[in-house]
Structure 1
């Protein structure tokens, strides 16, 4: 049976009303978000900045390439260290970030392990230098499949340690659920930093993130992208303050580091923001935990993280008998940038625990002895 002109106009009208309500309602949500920000984050104070002049884009000079997913999305990839290193560490970044968010970890692991470890970094779909995918592909399940593609292309053999932050941690969980055969043989260790096995709807910001106005913005991103492009300032006025407020817990954090993370958030497209936001709210990768239980893991977060609360990390560790739980005092969601030394130390311990025959650990101990004698 054909549709009448009135029916078609009615459906178009409902669609238009939906996205118009979304754009109009964003300001109201932004007001609520602002109140939450004011309650959760103190005013930054001027401090002596140890990272003035730090080049956070050094990773762009590393060996680069492209890995294409089965659905045709080009993922930008960088690598550090020899291709025949006995251990490969693959890093998956978080929501509205890019691979350079691992700046400090890249430096530390290279210094500590030398040619014994190879590191692989990539930009998730819709982020950084990677391509966009169709809207329906912006799911945590798809991110797990993307990680499998990176793993299969970049590290088909040898021992692999997976490291994920925030959405990247959910990516690791998704991968473990979908590809359990990889774990215990190929994937020998995993780190989940500022992450959770279940969605952000369970966080204190869940009420804001589930507001119908944001869902309407997601609808508009699919059906009226030009209008969302024009209204991108309104969308960012809601999401930007939430993400920036949640990023750091300590008012004394380096202003240079803050500026770097805010740049990454600002450079993320509105479409990527609103499409993945829904995925992060509703995901449930709890079925991955029994898979990770078989390998050494690190579960870390800041005790001031208001997006992925410490009790989410504690809940995961309760099901991971080989896990180290690390709660970093005073740190927010971007703990690997805010207090990198603590996270770096924990990642070194993880690689040492996960590496077969302890070859990497032996290499590091010999290097430490040489340094101490020097």
Structure 2
């Protein structure tokens, strides 16, 4: 599993959104690494991490690797992340995730609650997909395998993941997100979509978490709206809630300084 690590202090593991990779955290990293040991993995099949997860899971037999890759599950991604933390000597951490990364953080809480010191959620939700949403994900997965992802995936994704203010006033951010989306491997995109489509509802596991939590949402997020974020915060017994103005679904990319400020206030 490829990852970037910087800073010193309490471990803060940041898990990226779909369909980008750990580079989405670069804008906020400079501020966060002054106060935390920031670890940002590329999740299985995306960025520079292999789809079979071999480097994290130490799978040696080709048959085992193929079986792992053939069964999309965010629980596998959670296992990858925990194995990475074992390798770098981190027993407990604050786990943060944006969108899909939030789903992975919930899977980590479900798998190994004893390793979760705190939770940071950005633009994500606890609920599983409904049938229409699952069907949409599977359609994207099939198309990625048939056609690759060049062009069309970014065309379909960028208008929905970025807020209207970013699309109108931050052309550099729009272009950067397009580049991130276009660089993702089609097989990893397909696998991630199927894994998200199969994820369970995480409401009960979040209700059981009594540690510190922060929920951040972009004011202009139309995918996981501020109402969704309030519902998520309501599930967590000790959650703080922050709305970032003029920001959409990729809050850490669109407003990295404002996002880092909110996280640092919470960490302190």
Shorter-chain TM-score: what band?
A: 0.7 to 0.9
Unaligned 5+ segments in structure 2 are: 53-65
Task: Give the deviation of 1:217 after TM superposition.
Answer: 6.3
* Counterpart for residue 264 of structure 1: 180
* Counterpart for residue 124 of structure 2: 195
Q: Which of these two proteins has the greater Rg computed from alpha carbons?
A: 1
* Counterpart for residue 156 of structure 2: 242
Mapping of residues 326-345 of structure 1, within 5 Å? 326-345=242-261
Tell me, in whole angstroms, the C-alpha distance in 2 between the residues paired with 1:308 and 1:137: 26
1:313 correspondence with 2:229: yes
Task: Give the deviation of 1:131 after TM superposition.
Answer: 0.8
* Counterpart for residue 168 of structure 1: 101
Tell me, in whole angstroms, the C-alpha distance in 2 between the residues paired with 1:340 and 1:216: 32
SS in 1 for 2:70: helix
Mapping of residues 136-155 of structure 1, within 5 Å? 136-155=70-89
Residue by residue over 1:306-335, the C-alpha shift from the partner in whole angstroms, topping out at 9 and shown as x without a partner, is 222222211111121211111223311111
Mapping of residues 198-213 of structure 1, within 5 Å? 198-201=127-130, 206=132, 210-211=135-136
Tell me, in whole angstroms, the C-alpha distance in 1 between the residues paired with 2:106 and 2:76: 12
* Counterpart for residue 132 of structure 1: 51
* Residue 322 (structure 1) aligned to one of 235, 238, 242: 238
Tell me, in whole angstroms, the C-alpha distance in 1 between the residues paired with 2:260 and 2:194: 31
SS in 1 for 2:4: strand
Q: Relative to 1, partners in 2 of residues 1:177 and 1:79: Cα closer, same or farther, differing over 3 Å?
A: same
Unaligned 5+ segments in structure 1 are: 1-74, 353-374
* Counterpart for residue 59 of structure 1: none
Task: Give the deviation of 1:167 after TM superposition.
Answer: 0.8
SS in 1 for 2:190: helix
* Counterpart for residue 35 of structure 1: none
Tell me, in whole angstroms, the C-alpha distance in 2 between the residues paired with 1:76 and 1:155: 16
SS in 1 for 2:235: coil
Tell me, in whole angstroms, the C-alpha distance in 1 between the residues paired with 2:206 and 2:234: 10
SS in 2 for 1:164: strand
Residue by residue over 1:264-300, the C-alpha shift from the partner in whole angstroms, topping out at 9 and shown as x without a partner, is 10011222222222332342222320243x1111111
Q: Relative to 1, partners in 2 of residues 1:218 and 1:119: Cα closer, same or farther, differing over 3 Å?
A: closer
1:80 correspondence with 2:6: yes
Give TM-score scaled by structure 1 length: 0.61
Give TM-score scaled by structure 2 length: 0.83
Q: Relative to 1, partners in 2 of residues 1:201 and 1:310: Cα closer, same or farther, differing over 3 Å?
A: farther
Residue by residue over 1:37-62, the C-alpha shift from the partner in whole angstroms, topping out at 9 and shown as x without a partner, is xxxxxxxxxxxxxxxxxxxxxxxxxx
Whether contact under 8 Å (2:118, 2:212) holds in the other structure is yes
Tell me, in whole angstroms, the C-alpha distance in 1 between the residues paired with 2:223 and 2:240: 21
SS in 2 for 1:268: coil
SS in 1 for 2:175: helix
SS in 1 for 2:197: helix
Task: Give the deviation of 1:216 after TM superposition.
Answer: 5.7
Mapping of residues 1-374 of structure 1, within 5 Å? 75-82=1-8, 85=9, 87-111=10-34, 113=35, 117-133=36-52, 134=66, 135-157=69-91, 160-182=93-115, 187-201=116-130, 206=132, 210-211=135-136, 215=138, 218=141, 228=146, 231-232=147-148, 237=152, 239-249=153-163, 250=165, 251-283=167-199, 284-292=201-209, 294-352=210-268
Figure out how many residues of one structure are paired with residues of the other and give that number. 250
